[in-house]
Every structure is written in C-alpha cells, then in structure tokens.
Structure 1
Amino acid sequence: MREIGDELLRWLEAGERFVLASIVGVRGSAPRDVGATAVVHADGTVLGSLSGGCVEGAVHSLALEALADGEPVRTSFDPDPDDPFAVGLTCGGQLDVYLHPVEPDTGFGPAAAAGSGPAGTGGTVAALSWALRSARRGLPVAVARVLATGRTLAVGTDEHVGGTGDAELDGTVVAEARAMLDRNASGIGQLCVSGGPEHSVFVESWNTPPRMLVFGAIDHAAALARMGKFLGYHVTVCDARPVFATRRRFPEADEVVVRWPHEYLAEITTDRRSVVCVLTHDAKFDVPVLREALRGPAGYVGALGSRRTHADRVERLRAAGLTASELERLRAPIGLDLGGRTPEETAVSIAAEIVALHNHGSAHPLTHTSGPIHVA
C-alpha cells in the first residue's frame, strides 16, 4: 500500500470510494509478498498490482462486487492443473487476497478516529490517511485491519488512530501491531480478549527504510548510492575529505557527510537491517571504521579491495583486537563474482550479495538449482 501512497492519499482526502485488495497470505512461489496491494476505484481505475497479471482481472471484478456489497471479502487463488482456464498464478503458488471496501468517513474528528459507524467506515479513512502521512514523514507505522469487519487502526510507536469498536480489543491489536512493527513483519494474527472469540487481524508494517552507509567518496560510491536508493535504502555517503564528499558528486544519496567514518558510525544508530560498505581500501580509513562496524549490529559489512589488500587489512584488524568471530562477519573482497569491472558493475555485484544475504539466497544461477524460487 505504501508504494502507491501518494495517489491513495489523494483519493482518501477527496472522499473517493474504492477497494483495497491486499495479499494477506502466500503459499509457494508468488511474484509479490504479503502486504502487496492493488486499489480498485469505483470507476474501475486501478493502482498497484498483486501478481503482475495472473490474477488481476479476477481481483478487479471481485473488488467491484465487494464495493457494491459494502462488505470485506477474503478469497484464495489456487492453481488448478486440470482446468486451463482457472484463475491462478502461473508459477504454481497460492494467494490469499483481502478485499476491503473503503467509503468516505463521516469526518476526520474524534468520532471518526474512534471507529464508530458501519463496517468499512467510521475511522478507516482517518486511520489510513494518518498512516500514509506518517510514512511520508519517514515514521514507522503499522496498519491493522480486522478481516471480518474492515475496522482499521493505524499504529505508531507512541500513538494510534482508528479503532475496532471494542476498547479491550483495541489494546490487544495495538500491542500486537507494535510488536510486529518492531520486527518489520506483516501477516495475520489471531487475537482474542477476555476469553471471547478469535479475531483475524491483518497487520501491515511500514518500518523506516533500512540504512546503507557507504564509506569512501569514490566513483564506486556514486554507483552504489544509486543502487542503494533503487533497493529502498536510506543512503549515506561519508568521507573525511571535503573535496570529495560533496552533494554534487552524490546527488542520489540521502545524506553526504564530511566526517571521519569511524567517528560518524560510532555516533549514529544502526540495526540488523543496516548495510555498511567500506570502499576506501585505505588502511587509515578502513581499519577504524571496520572495527566499529564489525562490533555493531549491522547485518552486512563489506569492504572493497584486492585479495592482497584484504589480507593486509585482516592482519591490521587482528592487531586492532578483533576476534575471529568478528572477522567472519566481514564480506571482503566485497560483492559476488560477476566478473564486472566498472563502478556500475561493481555496484550490481555488491547489491546482489546484499540481497542474497538478506533473503538467505544461494546466489547460484537458478538454471542450476531446483526447488522453489521464492523461499518462504
């Protein structure tokens, strides 16, 4: 939903009628993950995609039916090998899709935010609008929807908007949504309060973008900054040399910082989603910043340089006190073996290694592998 947020927010603020069609479950291979959303306007206009074409026609028809009925619907698309005309994914996967009609709220005041009104109204627009505005400001937010009713809550780190109509259930949903937001997880949870019935609640987490920290303002850094932005990272290029670390040289970066890399890294917050790429291949820069990075939480730490440069770097890092287990985290020479030489080709190889590590991929050619392409 977030990737079509600007247009969707305009529809919400204009009081348009539409259906949110969201993937809430995936089994097997599928082109899009849980949380992918297409929006079908009452006039038939579509934003976004769920499958790249396989189920779009059926989703469009079902969405218009749901909008006419005014009730949310959950449906599945399963491949049928015996029916060549059956709607399903050509890759053989299965999708669970939630169709959620959204009507204009009675207003954006306290009554709307509290979740009053019939299913699909009374707070949904207020909650979705608040969530999209928060995401636009770079704030982490989760959108929680009760599947049976469509009642919606937008949950931030310190506040929330919307409601289910049940204050006790609201508290449970908010707690679960915040826990999932902290893990950047999306999916369906079964929640209940006071021994009552279970409520299926779909939570879609929109965490802040992960950080890519590029140390060394060289040509390779410019190419990697472009690649990092393409992959959705908040990209920072940092170098101690002001003549090289300039906005003009790195227009795609979110930040260009003139600091000693190790001092800058020591002062900022990183987490397991963070990526650290050290491109200077100069010991006076490399060793201090790698010592800081390898003792921090970043999920990926890589360093550019030849094998000879790396062998010397490892000895210097050992002398600086790094342990064998800390050194095992270092990806160097950085990137996958793609045979590339240019800064752009090098950036692709680094990005490929980051994606493979993040998704636990083998990095082998799919031609030479078997089994599912998309591993759950």
Structure 2
Amino acid sequence: MIWLSRIPELLANGPLVLVSVAGVRGSAPREPGASMLVGQDFTADTIGGGHLEWQAIAEARLLLQAEACQPLLRRYPLAASLGQCCGGVVWLAFEVLHAGQLPVWQAVSQRHREGLPQVRQLDGRAPASSWPESRGEGRLDLPATEDGPDWCLWQPLQPPRFCLSVYGAGHVGAALVNLLAPLEMRLRWCDPRAELMVRAPASVECCVMETPEEVVAQASAHSAHVVLTHEHALDLRLAEAILRRDDFRWFGLIGSQSKRTRFRQQLAARGIAPGQIERMICPIGVTGIRDKAPQAIAIAVATQVLQLREISIPA
C-alpha cells in the first residue's frame, strides 16, 4: 500500500485527499479498498488510471481548494459518458486529511509496517476516519439518497501475506527493490552499508546488517530470500544461515552454475543436508533473458518473485 506508507511524509507538508474505491458493481479497473493520495500538485498510488482517475483527481483538488471537512461518496458509472467502457459502477470515497491528523496516520502506518491488521471506518457524517477494534470484513453501506450523508465504509488494512528479504544494496539489489517496492508485499532490504539504502522507498524496511546470521534470524517465518551482495563470502554466510532455517519459503542466490557448484560443496562441508542445499535456486531470474545489465537482471528476478507471490495470494 504505497498510499498508506506515504501519508506521514506527505501530510507533514500540507493537506491532501485520500481517495478510496469504496464499492464496485460489475467490471472496474481496481478492487474495493484500492486507494490513492491527491495533493494540489501531486498524486501517489492509483485507483486504476483512465478517465475515472482523472475525474477523481479533479474532484479531490476541488475539495482541497474549498477546504472541505466532511468526507464525500461519489458514484461513477463506467460508461461512454466517462470515456470508459468497463460497463460497471464504482463508488469512490473522498476524505480530506489535515496536518492535525498526522499522529494518527503515523501510528496507522507504523502498525501496518509491523504486520498488524486494522480496519478503517469512514462515516459520511463524521469528519475523519476512525479505527474500531473489530476486525470485520470490508463493506460499503450506501446512502439512502444519491448524495446523502448516511453512508459508511469499512476498509480492512491487512498486512501483506508475502514477505521478501533482499540482501545486497548494489546495482542489482537497488534496481530490484525499486521495482518491487510499489507492490503488495512486506519487503526488507539488508546490507552492511547503510549509506546505500538512504533513498529506499518509504514502504521498504531497511536493515543495516551487523552479522548475516542475525539479520536472517530476524526474517519472518515463511519468508522468501534473495541474496545478491557484493562479496561471495558474505553470500555464503547468508546462504548457510537461510538454509539452516526450516521455515523459509524460497531462497534465490545470484550467480552462475559454477558458483552454484562451489556453494553446494562448501555448504555440504559445513554440514548442511543435501536436501536442504537443493532448495537453493542459483542462478536466479526467469530464463531466456541474456542481458546482464543490472536493470535487466532485476526485471528477471522480479518476475520470478511475482510468480512465487501469486501462489501466496488467494484469487
């Protein structure tokens, strides 16, 4: 959720509007819960693009100019009149966020980073979102009349189920993290060189690696791991630490077939069981891509990671 991770940063600089897909009937560009942020001269994240999004941005900026306080719910038929032919109907909720709400959204964003589920409740008659203790399902109660205030949105903010640790902040590691950061996953980026991670996207958890064993131990159970550091010796220590865990989901190591052969021998000499060593994927990345540029390698690895993530997310 890019929008959620960026609210604290952007709200500190002034008001903005949180636009959320509150409900959908039929075919639509995005699912209920998809959200974006709109400021006077920027946007963050997307509710699907196209003319619907342009209309939503225009509506949001009018609310900012009017210094509106109450949330709004708007109904958009996705027909020719809107320049879209999806054929469905989308309800969008608009909430103006003000600087005074910054501590609340900082806490919400922090809880999300910690993997805690939350529910946002936006009532048409209340000035701002509330956060009930109940963990109910998402839904939209429609107003009795087209523009009535008697509506309510429940938006679950579930932490990502797919967790990935990327070890290495070199050219490939940086390219890979920037490719994956906008997507729905819990992403950790680990390297001994803190200065290489200072420009990490807000949604990424950065870990300065003191020892490989410690940083691997801190990964969530059933995490995926990608190792691509600047030193083979560090790669080997990370590989050993990952393979000694029985609860990792997937482990990919950058390198050639010859590196795989050397590592298999060295890991066996360190007492790693043959069956565990076979779980190490090396080389990594989808096949058929010969380009060795860091960005090309990162795309090949990101594709492999997304294929793995699809297995982790129910349809």
Q: Where on the TM-score scale, by shorter chain, does this alignment land: which range?
A: 0.5 to 0.7
> Which amino acid letter does the alignment assign opposite residue 173 of structure 2?
L
Q: What's the counterpart of residue 334 of structure 1? A: 284
Q: Return closer, same or farther for 1:61/1:29 CA change in 2, 3 Å cut-off.
A: closer
Q: Return closer, same or farther for 1:96/1:342 CA change in 2, 3 Å cut-off.
A: same
Instruction: Choose which of 181, 190, 196 in structure 2 pairs with 1:236.
Output: 190
Residues of 2 paired with 1:132 and 1:263: CA distance? Answer: 31
What TM-score, normalized to structure 1?
A: 0.55
Give the CA deviation at 1:76.
4.5
Report sequence identity in percent: 16
Q: What's the counterpart of residue 55 of structure 2? A: 58
* 8 Å contact from structure 1 (residues 212, 276) kept in 2: yes
Residues of 2 paired with 1:313 and 1:355: CA distance? Answer: 26
Q: Return closer, same or farther for 1:20/1:308 CA change in 2, 3 Å cut-off.
A: closer
Gaps of 5+ in 1: 13-17, 105-124, 156-172, 181-186, 191-197, 238-244, 362-374
What TM-score, normalized to structure 2?
A: 0.64
Instruction: Choose which of 91, 95, 102 in structure 2 pairs with 1:97.
Output: 91
Q: What's the counterpart of residue 306 of structure 1? A: 256
Residues of 1 paired with 2:93 and 2:152: CA distance? Answer: 17
1:1-376, aligned counterparts within 5 Å?
1-2=3-4, 4-5=6-7, 6-12=9-15, 20-25=18-23, 30=29, 34-39=33-38, 47-48=43-44, 49-60=46-57, 64=62, 70=70, 72-78=72-78, 80=79, 85-87=80-82, 89=84, 92=86, 94=88, 96-102=90-96, 128-134=101-107, 140=114, 142=118, 144-147=120-123, 149-150=125-126, 152-153=128-129, 155=131, 173-176=132-135, 187-188=138-139, 200-205=153-158, 212-214=165-167, 221-232=170-181, 233-237=187-191, 245-247=192-194, 254-259=206-211, 261-266=212-217, 268-272=218-222, 275-279=225-229, 285=237, 287-293=239-245, 295-297=246-248, 299-311=249-261, 313-314=263-264, 320-322=271-273, 324=275, 329-337=279-287, 338-360=289-311
* 8 Å contact from structure 1 (residues 70, 101) kept in 2: yes
Residues of 1 paired with 2:279 and 2:196: CA distance? Answer: 30
Relative contact order higher in (CA < 8 Å, ≥ 6 apart)? 2
SS, match of residue 244 in structure 2? helix
Q: Return closer, same or farther for 1:19/1:342 CA change in 2, 3 Å cut-off.
A: closer
Alignment RMSD, CA only?
4.6
| 1:330-365 deviation line (CA, Å, top 9, x unaligned) | 43221122212234432332223223322359xxxx
Give the CA deviation at 1:236.
0.8
Aligned length: 280
Q: Name the larger-Rg structure.
A: 1
Q: Return closer, same or farther for 1:248/1:4 CA change in 2, 3 Å cut-off.
A: closer
Residues of 1 paired with 2:262 and 2:250: CA distance? Answer: 21
| 1:290-329 deviation line (CA, Å, top 9, x unaligned) | 3135x234x44211222243255456657735474x5665
